[in-house]
């Protein structure tokens, strides 16, 4: 169901908002990629909101801190006085629930036969056999936590925004910066990494302090705003717990398009199609960086 962005950054040069720039970034792809890894596979750019910034925009690879637009171009046409950015958390591990589903799929693949047979099958290009032998190293404690790559995503995003809007992100405005986050640890950590990126912008070369010791303070937690889908009573009763409102979601999950996908996946992995569903197949995207 809906999963929202987790931090809101507001910085303004004047108290009145004459111009608001909204930015929605999405990134929650999960892997333990090294920060310097370039595009991982031919499939990497096609993960929608789970696509890494670098895969959506390979221009970031040579210089991840350079703004993606010419700041002067913007300055000539308008004067930014406020920036509101709605930012999703950085790269993270899968959640415990997703890890459980992965284990179930892994078990299904391992049940296909003896290890020796699988190894031979993997040698013949059998993807299901290769996946069965992949050591599933995700552990429960990882539960959706931000990884180092995710911290770097946020630091670099902060630096790009600061170079794109130099007047807004002036040092004197630093104290005006407001950062709101949900209570999810990956979001709190993303907010902290964003602020640490900005700190580096203002104090290049100096060691970065803890966010609690920064002028603007740590990100404020506000779940009512940032996780409205868990707290808004109207949304919960009228939509989330209302089968009529969710009719099309369910229809899609059980409809012909989804059945077609499940059949294709079952064919490729050589597992019974009735073990696959719209709930467990999508978690396979977490295997992307490893094998596919
Ligand atoms: C459930 O959703 C339907 C369709 O959107 C709507 O007409 C109905 O009022 C909703 N029911 C409740 C209890 O809100």
Q: What CA–CA distance (Å, rounded) separates 150 from 159?
A: 14
How do residues 109-142 score in pLDDT, each as one tens digit?
Answer: 999 888 888 888 888 888 898 889 888 999 999 9
Q: Is there a single domain that holds both residue 100 and residue 220?
A: no
Q: Is there a single domain that holds both residue 129 and residue 149?
A: no
**Last residue of one domain, picked from the residues 232, 257, 280:** 232
Q: Is there a single domain that holds both residue 176 and residue 287?
A: no
Q: Is there a single domain that holds both residue 72 and residue 176?
A: yes
* Backbone phi and psi for residue 85, each to the nearest 5 degrees, phi listed first: -120, 130
Q: Is there a single domain that holds both residue 80 and residue 169?
A: yes
Among residues 48, 1, 43, which one has the least CA distance to residue 28?
A: 48
pLDDT for res 197 = 93
Q: Is there a single domain that holds both residue 131 and residue 176?
A: no
How far apart are the CA of 235 and the centre of ligand 1, in A?
10
Q: Is there a single domain that holds both residue 64 and residue 173?
A: yes
* Backbone phi and psi for residue 92, each to the nearest 5 degrees, phi listed first: -135, 170
pLDDT for res 285 = 76
Residue 139's domain comprises 94-143+246-292
Low-confidence ranges of the chain (pLDDT < 70): 1-7, 11-40, 70-71, 73-76, 287-292
* Backbone phi and psi for residue 7, each to the nearest 5 degrees, phi listed first: -135, 150
Q: Is there a single domain that holds both residue 17 and residue 136?
A: no
pLDDT for res 288 = 52
In-domain check, residue 239 = no
**Last residue of one domain, picked from the residues 185, 210, 232:** 232
pLDDT for res 39 = 53
Q: Using CA atoms of 275, 280, 282, 285 in order, give the dihedral in degrees to the nearest 10.
A: -100
Burial code of 89-124, b = ≥16 C-beta within 10 A, e = fewer?
bbbbbbbeebbebbeebbebbbebeeeeebeebbee
Q: What CA–CA distance (Å, rounded) separates 134 from 129?
A: 9
pLDDT for res 32 = 42
Q: Is there a single domain that holds both residue 66 and residue 171?
A: yes
Q: What CA–CA distance (Å, rounded) separates 190 from 184?
A: 10
Q: Is there a single domain that holds both residue 207 and residue 265?
A: no
pLDDT for res 40 = 62
pLDDT for res 149 = 93
Residue nearest to atom 3 of ligand 1 (CA): 245
**Last residue of one domain, picked from the residues 232, 261, 276:** 232
Q: What CA–CA distance (Å, rounded) separates 220 from 22?
A: 19
CB 237 less than 6 A from any atom of ligand 1: yes
CB 245 less than 6 A from any atom of ligand 1: yes
In-domain check, residue 200 = yes
Q: Is there a single domain that holds both residue 78 and residue 114?
A: no
Tell me the best of 234, 235, 237, 245 to mutate to test the pocket of ligand 1, counting ligand atoms within 8 Å of each CB and taking the most. Answer: 245
In-domain check, residue 112 = yes
pLDDT for res 46 = 82
CB 249 less than 6 A from any atom of ligand 1: no
pLDDT for res 236 = 97
Among residues 288, 289, 284, 268, which one has the least CA distance to residue 105?
A: 284
């Amino acid at each position: 169901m809906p999963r929202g962005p987790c931090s809101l950054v507001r910085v303004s040069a004047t108290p009145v908002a004459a111009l608001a720039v909204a930015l929605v970034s999405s990134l929650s792809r999960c892997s333990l990629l090294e920060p310097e890894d370039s595009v991982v596979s031919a499939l990497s750019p096609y993960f929608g909101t789970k696509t890494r910034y670098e895969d959506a925009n390979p221009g970031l690879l040579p210089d991840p801190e350079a703004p993606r637009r010419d700041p002067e171009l913007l300055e000539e046409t308008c004067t930014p006085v406020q920036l509101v950015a709605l930012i999703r958390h950085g790269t993270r591990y899968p959640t415990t629930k997703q890890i459980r589903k992965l284990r179930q799929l892994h078990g299904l693949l391992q049940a296909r036969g003896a290890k020796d047979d699988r190894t031979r099958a993997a040698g013949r290009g059998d993807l299901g056999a290769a996946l069965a032998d992949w050591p599933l190293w995700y552990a429960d404690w990882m539960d959706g936590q931000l990884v180092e790559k995710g911290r770097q995503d946020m630091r670099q995003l902060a630096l790009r925004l600061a170079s794109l809007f130099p007047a807004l992100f002036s040092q004197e405005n630093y104290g005006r910066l407001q950062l709101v986050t949900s209570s999810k640890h990956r979001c709190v950590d993303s907010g902290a990494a964003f602020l640490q990126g900005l700190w580096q912008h203002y104090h290049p070369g100096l060691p970065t302090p803890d966010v609690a010791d920064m002028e603007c303070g740590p990100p404020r937690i506000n779940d009512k705003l940032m996780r409205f889908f868990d707290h808004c009573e109207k949304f919960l009763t009228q939509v989330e717990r209302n089968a009529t409102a969710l009719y099309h979601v369910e229809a899609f999950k059980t409809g012909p398009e989804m059945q077609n996908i499940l059949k294709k996946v079952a064919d490729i992995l050589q597992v019974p199609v009735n073990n696959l569903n719209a709930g467990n197949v999508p978690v396979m995207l977490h295997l992307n960086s490893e094998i596919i």
